[in-house]
Each structure stands twice: as structure tokens, then as C-alpha cells.
Amino acid sequence: MEETASVRYGRMLEAADIGGYAGVRMFAEAQWLLESGEWKTVGPGFEDPSAFVRSIPLAGFSVPPEVRRAYEQVAASNGATQRAIAESVGVSQPTVQRDLADDSDESEPESDTSSDLQEQQEMILPSDSDESEPESEPEPPKPKHAPVMLTLYTHENEPVGYPQPQGKATFNETSGDGISWAEWSWNPVTGCLHGCTYCYAREIATSTRFEKSFPAGFTPLLHTERMDAPANTKIPAAHRDDPAWRRVFVCSMADLYGRWVPDEWIKQVHESMLASPQWEYLLLTKFPARYVGLDLPPNAWVGTSVDEQKRVRIAENAFRKIDGVKVKWLSLEPLREPLEFADLTMFDWVVIGAQTETRQPDGIVPAFTPPFEWVARLAVQALDAGCAVHLKPNLISHPGMEWLNQYPPT
């Protein structure tokens, strides 16, 4: 049965509490409501598109810039003012104006709505000469220049066209609970071949809404145009004393150390990290043996992801051979089965999380709430081994975990 507009609107507001990739779904539902015109039928009854857009709490979500710009385009084309869009997504109005100018595919200038005209009039001081001046002929629209295309290459050396970015490469901010341990993400490589059924990154990369941002889908792709991001990114003055703003999650949309990744790709990324030692780079892979022997940045947080018991021994063996880095960490997210480690003393930090729902190309993969005792047993073992422990927010809610609810026999 097709979902009603009210159901979609309710799901959109519910998604506001979910971190990480759920922000992408939030933007997608808002776009659907705008494009379909069903925004008029939901909520308290919005008087115009700007009022509807202002009701959507998107500012706290960290999504790829391309996702935000796609939403801005849809909102603007359906009559929302730039001011309302800026308030909704949490950026300045000049940023929205620049995004719309950069991303527009139309050759004609954007038509003004009455509310747009009102905002423009508020910015113009009237003069006595305005009424006496004859109306000038409207200027013909300036032709839209085709974007400069870069040629990127997949792991199999297949060429892929990609629009050259307008500005310098920088990190993406990661506000929200999805990446709760770093304030930035950086994706010089995208795509992965692990085939994990629950992968949030594949959900984003294979979505038809974001195909312009991921022209190769989830096929591994090297983004050479992003290599200068560590040198170009500046910490906002208000956060210079916050250590979290020095941490960047590298390849949140890939596994940089997958078996399929060419050595040259890893070399380029490592050279970029080593050239900008002011950052703490958080690395994560399901192939930790590939770390061994590499020139790892001394300020790196080197991590491995374990979601199955068969990966436990691989992780333990590899991390006994790794040293000379800032932090060695273990990610147990999603925790999908009870895991047993012989030893955790080779790790400094253990992160535990649940499995959130994703929409994969072949259907919805439901959330999974690990039982409390799985989490508690691992947390106690990690603390006894001298590790710091971080429980992801998704263990508290969305989806949470199964708390003990036992009663004695009567």
C-alpha cells in the first residue's frame, strides 16, 4: 500500500532523532513532500513552502554537501525562500545562494516568488528616482557554462567522469550521532566491495537521489581532487581548544585498506595525512593485516571493525604487530552476535554500537538491537584490559538494545 503524505511526514520527524545516515533519509523525505506538493496536507497546515521548510529540523544532521545542495535546489524550485532554506539546513543565506548558483542546471534565471521579491525589497532602500526611471529592458539570460569534468578511476582503472569542484577541497563536518567520535570526515576514496548487508554507505551511494555525487555508485573510486583537504581545512575559532575538532574520520564511505584497493591509492592518502600532522586521523578497516608494514601517521587512530566472530582472531593478531600510532581502537558496530575475545590489551579504545535500519538496493534491512548482556560483557572485558569504552548513542535509542527484564519464578 502506498504511504500517505502524513505517514511520510511523521516518519521524517521521527528520523530527526536518528544520527548518521538517517540524516540522508530526512533530506529525502523532505524533498519528496516538496516535489509532490503534499507538504500542503501535513502538519498544522503550512501557509506557504517557506513555512513548511522552516518546520524541518535539518540543521543538526551531517550529510554530504551534495545531499544538502540537492535539497536546497528542490526547496527553492518549489517556492521556498533562500532565508527559509538557510534556517532549515543551518547554513548562511549567502551559502544557499552560492549553492543554488553553482548547482543549477537551468539556463534561465530562477523565477521569483512573491516572498522572494519581498525579501529582495527589504534589502533595497527606496529612492525618489526609482519611480521616474524608465524600466530598462531585461538582460538576456547568461548562458550556463558546462562544468569542467575530471576523469577519476576505479580500482580496476575504469575512467569515471566527475564535475570539478568550484572551491578548494575541505573536510566535511560530522555533526550528529552517526560519527559520534569525530567532528570531521574525509573521503579521498569512496566505495567498498565487502558486501555487508547493513552498510549505511552503500545506501547513500546507490540512491538515485545522489547519483551525481556518486557516479560510480559504490564501486571503489579514487578522488584525487580531495587530497588537499587536510591542508585546506581550518578549525573554527570557537572550537580551537576542543580536541574533537582535530579528529577526522578517513573514508567514512569506503574501506581504504580493502584487498581490492591499489597500493598507490593508500600511498597517496598517507602522503596527504603525513603532510598535515595537525590532524588526528581515524582509520577503520575490516582488513587490519594490511596495516602491518605501512608508514602509518604517528597521530593516527588505527582501528578495525569486527562484526563476526571469524574476524576476532584476525584483529587480535594484526594489532599485536602495530605500534607507533596515537591510538589503537576496536569498533564493534554493529554488534550482531555475541563476540568472544581472548585478549583486548592490544587496544586502547573499544566502541560498541547497534545496527540501524538501512534501505539497500534489494530492500530494507531492519535494525537489530543487541541484548544488554552482549554489550555489558564486552564493556567489562575492555575496562579490565585497560581500554577506554565508548557506547554509541544508537545503543540508547534508535534502535537501542534489549535491556534485561527478568523476574524470579513464582
Residue type, 300: A
Question: Which has more confidence, 28 or 273?
Answer: 273
pLDDT of amino acid 77: 86
Angle 180-183-188 from CA coordinates, rounded to 5°: 105
Euclidean distance between CA atoms 45 and 47, whole angstroms: 6
Confidence of residue 283 (pLDDT cuts 50, 70, 90): very high
Whether pLDDT at 34 is above 80 = yes
Max mean pLDDT among 85-89, 91-95, 306-310, 389-393 falls in 306-310
pLDDT of amino acid 216: 96
| CATH number of 149-395, picked from 3.20.20, 3.30.1490, 1.10.730, 2.70.98 | 3.20.20
Euclidean distance between CA atoms 312 and 335, whole angstroms: 13
Angle at which helices 65-77 and 82-89 cross, to 10°: 150
pLDDT tens per residue, range 175-210: 656 677 788 999 999 999 999 999 999 999 999 888
pLDDT tens per residue, range 81-116: 888 888 888 877 777 877 887 654 433 333 333 333
pLDDT tens per residue, range 115-128: 333 333 333 333 33
Q: Where are the beta strands (DSSP E) in 137-279?
A: 149-154, 159-163, 172-173, 184-186, 189-190, 221-222, 247-250
Euclidean distance between CA atoms 355 and 335, whole angstroms: 7
Q: What is the mean pLDDT of residues 377-404?
A: 93
pLDDT of amino acid 83: 80
* Cell (9 digits) for 343: 585478549
Confidence of residue 6 (pLDDT cuts 50, 70, 90): low
Angle at which helices 114-122 and 82-89 cross, to 10°: 90
Q: What is the pTM of this model?
A: 0.67
Residue type, 367: A
Residue pair 9/2 in contact by the 8 Å Cβ criterion: no
Whether pLDDT at 263 is above 50 = yes
- Going from N- to C-terminal start, the domains of the chain cover 5-105, 149-395
Question: Which has more confidence, 358 or 111?
Answer: 358
pLDDT tens per residue, range 36-56: 888 888 877 787 888 888 888
Residue pair 62/179 in contact by the 8 Å Cβ criterion: yes
Q: What is the mean pLDDT of residues 295-309?
A: 97
Q: Which residues contact 280 (CB under 8 A, 6 or more apart)?
A: 243, 246, 247, 248, 299, 300, 301, 326
Residue pair 118/82 in contact by the 8 Å Cβ criterion: no
**Among the listed residues 208, 239, 259, the one whose alpha carbon sits nearest the alpha carbon of residue 67:** 208
Residue pair 280/249 in contact by the 8 Å Cβ criterion: no
Q: Percent of the chain having pLDDT more than 70?
A: 83
Whether pLDDT at 346 is above 90 = yes
3-state secondary structure of 371: strand
Q: Percent of the chain having pLDDT more than 90?
A: 53
Whether pLDDT at 214 is above 60 = yes
pLDDT of amino acid 43: 76
Give the CA distances from residue 53 to residues 48, 59, 71, 126, in Å, rounded to whole numbers and listed in that order.
9, 12, 10, 30
Euclidean distance between CA atoms 190 and 196, whole angstroms: 15
Whether pLDDT at 60 is above 80 = no
Confidence of residue 7 (pLDDT cuts 50, 70, 90): low
**Secondary structure element (H or E) that encloses residue 284, with its range:** strand 280-285
